[in-house]
Amino acid sequence: MSIVPKETIEVIAQSIGIPNLSPDVALALAPDVEYRLREITQEAIKCMRHSKRTVLTADDVDSALNLRNIEPIYGFASSDPLKFKRAIGHKDLFYLDDREVDFKEVIDAPLPKAPLDTAVVTHWLAIEGVQPAIPENPPIEAIVAPPDGKKMDHGKDDSLPIDLKLPIKHVLSRELQMYFDKIGELILGRADTPLFKDALLSLAKDSGLHPLVPYFSYFIADEVSRNLNNLPILFALMRVVKSLLSNPHIHIEPYLHQMMPSIITCLVAKRVGHQISDNHWAIRDFASKIVASICRRYGHVYHNLQSRLTKTLIHAFLDPSKALTQHYGAIQGLSALGPSVVRLLILPNLETYMQLLDPEMQLDKQKNELKRKEAWRVYGSLLLAGGSCLYDRLRLFPGLLSPPDILPWKTNKKIALTNLPNNKRKASSRLTAHQPPTKKLAVDPTGTNSQFPSTDGPVTSSSSGSNPNHHHSHNSSNNNSSSTGNITNANANINNVSGSGAHGQRVAVSNVLRQAWKEDLDAGHLLSSLHGLFGEGIFSFIQPAEMHCFI
């Protein structure tokens, strides 16, 4: 009858020292207990309202008890709402999670930080009825992005994207319009001025920009497709994207779908900028970082974001008809997503891909200097991806290198060491072979730099130094002891990449790589197979401590 069951009364009676309360008494008391409870609750709610709160606290109940001249219940003082837990197996039974506290623990614990003192700050909630867009005010939610279709239609017949807002019921303040115009002007015209840096900072920090996001996203998409040949503009646009993404006051998720295509374009486009003179590799690297950061931040919100992205990239990577530049972008994008993605998607395909790539890298197979350069670039990025993946494995499980593998590697190392002078000579000869045409091709000095970018250390070293090791590794698997034969056979061996002698090992290598995605993969096996493909270059990714195992 009453919501307080008589059992509760009995339990309470027991707890205050009345062991055998007759059931009749309990039954008679129950309704009154409920009534009193309601009474106290009603008073407590009054106290809560007068404290200008909407959540009832223990203090309110105490005040209500005070009002009725009842002693308050001690031990529940807390200014925060109490946290109740549901008893397992009961639908409507809750209890306070009241941990037992060890006195010693409390005494020994460092003093908690003193609570901050109350302070008053002022801001303008509205100026003549209009809310200024400052961090103190909530972001303006009322503005709804116009539907895409409408936007596209209008964009076609109107070259200026700023005019888009005309048909849309979306009031953009004059200041914002001017801001947008200025930013657009900077991107297209003066991206190298210090002013542009300030603009990027403003884009990354200002809180009132949310209404402009749809315009920016459209602007970026539009300009990227239009200026694929103009590297500085593309760079400027990507930096704007990065700034917008880092702005904590902007709610950018609804516009991601519009921005992603342009970023991916910058990443895997066949031609970005002038192939020869511009450092289009840098923008691919930059775009890959942006893509990775987007995936990290919004991956949990859009579950298919990363899967769709990787699908696009892996398509670009595995399609042999695509240009090497595209492959490079895809590899960079995938490796930026983290070592697990590399393990899952790149390593299983590594071997087949290397077969494809190898001829491109050889002086005698690929006569086009530019193509060869590109191939080396791709090779470098693959090495970086594989290496960082390996590094990650070793960092996580340092003890994973299995002893049996050490022995052969030791011998290998020796050979490598003995080979060193040769390698150097070879490398230098290769360099000298490269240099003159490069200079010829690159008219401006920046172009030469970009051919051999000093910025990415591993890539440079791998492209110049690891190639001889590469020959050598196959060689050594065939012919463990002879170093002289190695030198003489070097070129021949490379041509025999799929030769019968190497075949046995090859199967093993591909097997290992195919298993690469498995968590419990032996890092040693992974290392050996990667070494099989990349040679010594892979060692630069292993920490010195682990290196000791090999020497």
Partner 1 sequence: MEEEVEKAVFAYLRKKGFRLTEIALQEEQTRLSSDASSLSRSESDAAKYYDGYGKLRSWAYNSLDSYRHELLRVLYPVFIHCFMDLVAQGHMQEARTFFQTFREDHEMMHLRDLQKLEGILSPSHLEEMELARLWRQNKVKIRLCQYSYELLVQYLHKTQSLAMLGVINEHINFEVYPGQPASMSDDSEAVFLIGTSQDLAREINQKELHWGLLEDSVEERMEKTLSESDKTEVDGNKEADTEDNNKKKTDGNKHSTAVNNKKKKDKVVGATGKTIRSESSMVSVPPRVKPELTLPQFPPEVEQSILEDLRNRVQLNSLALPSVSFYTFLNTHNGLNCSTISHDGSLVAGGFSDSSVKIWDMAKIGQPGRASNPQGENGSMQGMHSLASDEAKRPYSLLQGHSGPVYSVSFSPFADFLLSSSSDNTIRLWSTRLNANLVSYKGHNFPVWDAQFSPMGHYFATASHDRTARLWSVERIQPLRVMAGHLSDVDCVQWHPNCNYIATGSSDKTVRLWDVQTGNCARLFIGHRSMVLSLAISPDGRFMASGDEDGTIMLWDLSTGRSVSPIIGHSSCVWTLAFSCEGTLLASGSADCMVKLWDITSSMKALKTDDSKSGPASRLRLLKALPTKSTPVYTLRFSRRNLLFAAGALSAGS
Strand partners, 86: 94
Strand ranges for 274-376 from DSSP E: none
CB of 67 to partner 1, least distance (A): 6
Please name the residues in contact with 230: beta carbons below 8 A apart, sequence gap of 6 or more. 273
Q: How many CB atoms lie within 10 A of CB 467?
A: 24
Q: Is the dihedral of CA 490, 494, 496, 501 positive or negative?
A: positive
**CB nearer partner 1, residue 51 or residue 496:** 51
66 part of the interface to partner 1, by CB under 8 A: yes
Report the Cα–Cα distance between both ends of the chain, in Å, rounded: 84
Single residue of 5, 7, 11, 39 touching partner 1 by CB under 8 A:
39
CB of 315 to partner 1, least distance (A): 44
**CB nearer partner 1, residue 32 or residue 153:** 32
477 part of the interface to partner 1, by CB under 8 A: no
Q: Which residue reads 């030198």 in tokens?
A: 487
Distance of alpha carbon 20 from the chain centroid: 66
CB of 137 to partner 1, least distance (A): 6
Instruction: Burial-class residue 306 by CB neighbours within 10 Å (0-12, 13-18, 19+).
Output: buried
432 part of the interface to partner 1, by CB under 8 A: no
Single residue of 22, 122, 304, 481 touching partner 1 by CB under 8 A:
122
Please name the residues in contact with 291: beta carbons below 8 A apart, sequence gap of 6 or more. 260, 263, 264, 267, 309, 333, 336, 337
What tokens appear for 313 in the block? 């990239």
User: What is the rounded distance in angstroms from the CA atom of residue 500 to the CA atom of residue 507?
Assistant: 11
35 part of the interface to partner 1, by CB under 8 A: yes
Q: Checking DSSP bridges between strand 84-86 and strand 94-96, what pairing results, if any?
A: antiparallel
- Give the closest residue to 516 by CA, choosing from 347, 339, 385: 347
113 part of the interface to partner 1, by CB under 8 A: no
498 part of the interface to partner 1, by CB under 8 A: no
124 part of the interface to partner 1, by CB under 8 A: yes
Q: Which stretch binds partner 1 (CB under 8 A): 62-70, 153-161, 287-295, 480-488?
A: 62-70
Tell which positions 296-315 bind partner 1, by CB under 8 A.
none
Tell which positions 259-288 bind partner 1, by CB under 8 A.
none
23 part of the interface to partner 1, by CB under 8 A: no
Single residue of 8, 51, 277, 366 touching partner 1 by CB under 8 A:
51
**CB nearer partner 1, residue 137 or residue 362:** 137
Under rule CB under 8 A, how many of the chain's residues touch partner 1? Answer: 44
500 part of the interface to partner 1, by CB under 8 A: no
Tell which positions 205-224 bind partner 1, by CB under 8 A.
none
Q: Which stretch binds partner 1 (CB under 8 A): 34-42, 184-192, 252-260, 518-526?
A: 34-42
Under a CB-based contact definition with an 8 Å cutoff, are residues 385 and 331 in contact? Answer: yes
80 part of the interface to partner 1, by CB under 8 A: yes
CB of 168 to partner 1, least distance (A): 22
User: What is the rounded distance in angstroms from the CA atom of residue 348 to the CA atom of residue 342?
Assistant: 9
125 part of the interface to partner 1, by CB under 8 A: yes
Under a CB-based contact definition with an 8 Å cutoff, are residues 162 and 177 in contact? Answer: yes
Cα angle for residues 162, 168, 171 (degrees, 5° grid): 75
What are the residues binding partner 1 (CB under 8 A)? Answer: 1-2, 31-32, 34-35, 38-39, 42, 46-47, 49-54, 57, 59, 63, 66-67, 79-80, 115-131, 136-138
